[in-house]
Structures are given as structure tokens and as C-alpha cells.
Amino acid sequence: MKDLIKPVHLKAGDLVATVSPSSGVAGDPGVRLRYDLAVRRLQEVFGLRVKAMLHCLDGSDYLYHHPEARAADLMEAFADPEVKGVFSCLGGEDTMRLLPFIDYQVIHDHPKVFLGYSDTTANHFMCLKAGLTSFYGPSVLVDFAEGGGLRPYMVEYLRRAIFSDQAIGLVEPAPDWSCQQQPWDAEHFNQPRHFQAGHDYQLLQGQGVVEGPLIGGNLEVLDWMRGTEIFPDLADFAGAIVFLESSFAVTPEIVRYALRCLGLLGVWDQVAGIIVGKPLEQGYAEAYKTEYLQTLAEFGRSDLPILYDLNFGHCDPRITIPYGAIGQIDCETQNFAILSAGCV
């Protein structure tokens, strides 16, 4: 992977901008309660100042019909010298429609923390094309507005990633976790999820210790990006550790097809290892394992280390992963670490 510019780490008093690059529900009636709660927590827990970009809260109908407005918010947030971080409100399914309106030079010339997950994967690859480290992690409407308060595990790994210039270090499994879906309405506002006890990561295959720059995101979005200007060159996968997770109602067959397409592009010939996030649809947890093992075998990569069931993606709590930072899979101890810093 090419060398990436690392942004300056955040500190108390910094201004962060919120954007809605995909779903616009942050401004919808009822959901706005969650947005306001998230802002209060960002202020009270992290000491950040928060501003919504011009169109961030214009609502889902307007933002669906105006991808150029979503892109304008993103570009203006990066260009604003007072803004030190840009936080995505939520994922969705059409961030790709921003592509005609993105100025990569603006992102390159104004490096700052960019945070989000799920459909925001496409925005991360915009940052990657621009040469900037970005951060696959919490979103405004989910993690910072979660019922029952912020999860300490999420807070710890977020601080390590974007509030520090030190290596993130060993990433322990979360002590508890949930993928329960709570309705987003006034009746369920700030209602806690049900959590269950955590467990160790699972090694599906591989031996020894492998290290490499981190690249990846949501598997479905990676599949949607194929053939576009933001899909990486094969060189960006050379020696990399790929992090992958899946979202809503993704059947094992869809996982198979997406992994197979990456193989046909030559990705699995290049990489050093894979880490896989906890599946949102837990009923498929065992079937997903089979798809990873069988598909990698199709491409002669039964040797490739795969560490499974990590706390990122569509589970709560989640870690924050810097693109381009050096990840390490230790197959003997079944541990994962991030050996470098995400920020300066």
C-alpha cells in the first residue's frame, strides 16, 4: 500500500463536523432525538465541539434526491480549517452516488480524522484514493446515541485510534457484545440493548505471525465498488491484512460471491491475512466460516491466516481501525494487534 498521510489526533476543544454521506435519517422526526443525544455525549465525554454541516440534517427525502448536497457537505467539512474531524452520521446504501462530486485534491490537501463504518466504506476509499488515513469505526447515530450510555470498550479503542499519536496495541475481545436491533422511535429512545458475554477470537486457518497494512470495510460495499475510480489497485493489497464484515440480511451465498469476485480480481494472491468482524446475522455465523474457508481454498489460499469474530462492523461495541496502520495476526495466540498509530 502507498504511504498515507496521517491526520493530527483529536483533543478536547477541537471542532468536529457531522455529515450524512449516505442515509439522511439524522434529520428525520424522531431520529433527531438520537442525533442530539450523540452531540451531547461527544461534548461531555470527549470534550469536542460539534457542528452539523449545512445539509446534514435536511432529512432522508431531500438527501436521497440530492447526492450533490451530501458531497458538498463532505468537501466543505474537509476544506474548513477550523474542522479537525469529520464524523459520518450513519451508513445506508448509496454513498456511491457521491462519486461524480468528489474532489480528491481537497481531501489530500486538508488531512483530518474521518470516522464511520458500513456504507461509509465508500468514503474511506475516497480518502484512500486521496492518500489519507481514515478510520473504520463508530457512527454518530449508532454508537454515540446508543441506549444506556457509551460502551467503555468502544470509548477506549476510539481514544487509542483518533485521540492519540501512539500505537494502538493489542486489541482484546470485548467483554460483552450485541447485534440486537432496537427500533429508532420516541418510545424506544435511549433504551439499552441486550448484551451477552464476549468470547475469544476464532482462528479459521493459518500459522505463525503475519503483519501488514490494514485495508477493508463492509464486504457488500467493496463488491459495489468494483470497476469504479475508488476501487484500489492490486498494489494496495500487497502484503495487507484485509478486514471484512457484513451487514443486514447478507446470506452466505452473497458472502461467497463477493469473496469469489475479490479472488478473481487477484486480491487473495496479494494479501497476508484476513480479520472478520462479528456477523450481524448470527444465524449465519457458522455458514460464513464455511464460505471463507471454501472460497479461499478455490484460490489456493488455504494457508492464508483468517481470524474470525472480531469486534468491528455491525456489532456493538466496536473498535476503530485506521486504514494503512500495521495490523498483526498471531495465529498461535489467536490475537490481533495494531502495531502503529493512526494519527500524528
Measured distance CA(35)–CA(185) in Å, rounded: 12
Cell numbers 487473495 correspond to what residue?
268
Please say if the pLDDT value at position 140 is more than 80: yes
Q: Which residue has the higher pLDDT, 101 or 279?
A: 101
User: Residues 173-181: what's their mean pLDDT?
Assistant: 91
Judge whether residue 338 has pLDDT over 80. Answer: yes
Whether residue 188 has pLDDT greater than 80: no
Comparing 147 with 197, the larger pLDDT belongs to 197
Please say if the pLDDT value at position 187 is more than 80: no
Residue 184: what pLDDT? 82
| Residue 344: burial class (beta carbons within 10 Å; 0-12, 13-18, 19+) | exposed
The answer, yes or no, to whether residue 284 has pLDDT greater than 80, is yes
Mean pLDDT across the stretch 326-337? Answer: 98
Q: Which of 143, 145, 155, 150 is nearest to 39 (CA)?
A: 145
Average pLDDT, stretch 234-260? 94
Binned at pLDDT 50, 70 and 90, residue 2 comes out as confident
Is the pLDDT score of 189 beyond 80?
Answer: no
Angle at 38 between CA 195 and CA 245, to 5 degrees: 50
Mean pLDDT of 59-65: 98
Residue 279's pLDDT is what? Answer: 87
Q: What percent of the chain has pLDDT over 70?
A: 100
E strand or H helix at 321? strand 321-322
The yes-or-no verdict on residue 344 having pLDDT over 90 is yes
pLDDT value, residue 182: 78
pLDDT at position 181 = 78
User: What is the third-level CATH fold of 15-166?
Assistant: Rossmann fold (3.40.50)
- For the chain, what are the domain ranges? 15-166, 176-338
What would the CATH number be for the domain defined by 176-338? 3.50.30.60
Percent of the chain residues past pLDDT 90, beyond the cut = 90
Query: Please, what is the average pLDDT of the chain?
Result: 96
Going by their DSSP bridges, the two strands 241-245 and 335-338 should be labelled as: unpaired
* Between 148 and 22, residue with greater pLDDT: 22
* C-alpha dist (Å) from residue 276 to 57, 280, 340: 33, 12, 20
Q: Taking 80 as the threshold, does the pLDDT of residue 91 lie above it?
A: yes
- Grid coordinates belonging to 235: 498494489
Taking the chain, what is the end-to-end CA distance rounded to the nearest angstrom? 19
Contacts of residue 295, Cβ cutoff 8 Å, sequence gap at least 6: 256, 259, 260, 263
